[in-house]
Amino acid sequence: MDVTSSCRALGIAVSLALLAGCASAPRDAASRDAEEPYFARHLPGLPGGWDPMMSPVDNPIGQARSLANPPPALVQQALLAQHERWEGTPYRLGGTSFQGVDCSALVQHVFAETFRVSLPRTTGEQVHQGASVERSELAPGDLVFFRPPGRYDHVGIYLGEGRFLHASTSQGVMISELDNSYWQRYYWQARRTLEPTQLAQRVRSGGVGDA
């Protein structure tokens, strides 16, 4: 075989190797996604092994717009993407930004950005939104309310699997469990502003055309 033929053969072999590598990576990633439930991955405030360096652009908000996902999964993933944005933001009564936020302002921001739903500013007003929901019937996107000691009621957003997103007065924006002894003791009620299917439609559309 002459030098030209050898170079051509080597080039073909390298090209085939590169193509094989590109084809296998997405399959492996898809397989992992199919095998691992979302809550099994690492998120601040949740156990697991998801890469904490994942950029906001790569987070589940893109996956949440997939038509293949059922409504509760779409809503849950979109809310977890919001958790990635807000996680660690300190609590500040009256705060409305990443420098400090209170529980009702967080809920208001998340609903506006994720679902294009306009909620009132305060917990006292939010508790009158939508319809009452039994705790046993909670779905991702429902508002959960608590009456801890002190002057103020507390609100968070239910994520599914017994967890909710909220701005904790002691630890800032985080994910907590409803069955935690503290939150279980002061659980008050839940409200559903929109059905999960409607929230999911707003996630898919990015809220375009919604009030």
Candidates 7, 22, 128, 154; catalytic one: 154
Closest CA to 41 of 93, 94, 84: 84
166 is catalytic: yes
42 is catalytic: no
Closest CA to 187 of 160, 164, 159, 170: 164
Question: What's at 69, amino acid-wise?
Answer: N
Q: Are 194 and 182 in contact (CB under 8 A)?
A: no
Q: Are 84 and 99 in contact (CB under 8 A)?
A: no
Q: Are 108 and 120 in contact (CB under 8 A)?
A: yes
22 is catalytic: no
Candidates 7, 22, 42, 103; catalytic one: 103
- Show which residues are catalytic: 103, 154, 166
